[in-house]
Structure 1
Amino acid sequence: MRKRTREIAMELLYQSTMNEKNIEELVDDYFEDNHEDLREDTDLKYLEEVLNGVNDKKEQLDSIIEKYLVNWKIQRVSKINLSILRLSTYEILFMQGIPENVSIFEAVEIAKKYSDETSGAFINGVLDKIAHQEKGQE
């Protein structure tokens, strides 16, 4: 259930970069449009927590992510990859009960599914640095 919910979270975070809707509207639209059957198979508590958390801490997350981009600016990162990085960085730094390696593995799998072939390694590298260097600074 959590794996699919992560994908939904990434899709909604991506959509939030493309339009002005708030989180609640995005979630409602997602399930009303063509995914109503997914609602009961979705961890709605996790979805709401992660979407609101990423939204509330977006500037902080982007600052952390950019710190670990080698020869890149955050504006150059594709919106899909940025959505994956924001989601997983939030999980790693702010959510209890989710092992870092699970967040990273799932992010890499989502990148392989939704982005290009090099994105998995890119996502893995950035998140691994964040997990090892930012966690110790809390």
Structure 2
Amino acid sequence: MSRTSARETAMKLLYEYSITGTLCKDSLENAPDALGADSLDENNLLYINDIITGFPGKCDEIDGIISSNSKSWKLERIAKVDLAILRLALYEILYMEDIPQKVTINEAIELAKKYSAEKSYQFVNGLLGGYLRNGGPEK
């Protein structure tokens, strides 16, 4: 399956994290069909595993970036789906150098269009674009 499907699965796991406060590999192993992971290949499962194992230690840094780039929106007020999408995108931008930033942003916008409110993609695009314009990492 495609990296897009793997991103959707990773976003669902990060959504779960935003609700429960835990990011658990068991979710992926016990309910792969519910997460859309039942048809992912080895490379995409490695991508998801990278996020599952790496994100918890980077959450504070990533949330700090979201907070400092979301004008007049506190982290608690951001919709959980949007938060999961932003966390995923920023994890890719910061720690997955093999993925072009433009691809990450485009995929984040598509996830927001598919899973979030009607205009959430504009918020996601604006926050990520603003972060990169204002000193985000160069790739």
Is the structural similarity TM-score above 0.5? yes
5+ unaligned residues in a row in structure 1: which ranges? none
Q: 2:77 corresponds to which residue?
A: 76
Aligned-pair Cα RMSD in Å: 2.3
When normalised by structure 1's length, the TM-score is: 0.88
Percent identical pairs in the alignment equals 35
- Asked if the contact 1:85–1:107 (Cα under 8 Å) also holds between the matched residues in 2, the reply is yes
Q: Does 1:135 align with 2:136?
A: yes
- Counterpart position of 1:13: 14
Gaps spanning 5+ residues in structure 2: where?
none
* More helix per residue: 1
Checking the alignment, whether the CA contact within 8 Å between 2:89 and 2:108 is kept in structure 1 is: yes
* Structure 2 counterpart of 1:4: 5
Q: Does 1:122 align with 2:120?
A: no
Q: Cα deviation per residue 1:77-111 (whole Å; 9 max; x = unaligned)? A: 01100000000011111111111111000000000
In structure 2, the CA distance between the partners of 1:93 and 1:15, relative to structure 1 (3 Å rule), is same
Native 8 Å contact 2:82 2:124 kept in 1: yes
Equivalent residues of 2:82, 2:116 under 8 A apart: yes
Rounded to whole Å, the distance in 1 between the matches of 2:35 and 2:47 is: 21
Partners of 2:12 and 2:137 in 1: CA distance: 30
Match of 2:55 in 1: 54
Is 1:28 matched up with 2:29?
A: yes
**Runs of 4+ with deviation above 4 angstroms:** 32-36
Distance 1:25 1:120, change over 3 A: same
Structure 1 counterpart of 2:26, one-letter code:
E
Distance of 1:34 and 1:99 partners within structure 2: 25
| Distance in 2 separating the partners of 1:54 and 1:36 | 19
Q: Deviations over 1:56-97 (max 9, x none)?
A: 211110001110001111110011000000000111111111
Matched, 1:38 2:36: no
Distance change in 2, residues 1:134/1:54 (3 Å): farther
Aligned amino acid, residue 4 of structure 2 = K
How far residue 131 of structure 1 moved from its aligned partner, in angstroms, is 2.1
Q: Distance in 2 between matches of 1:119 and 1:60?
A: 22
Equivalent pairs, count: 138
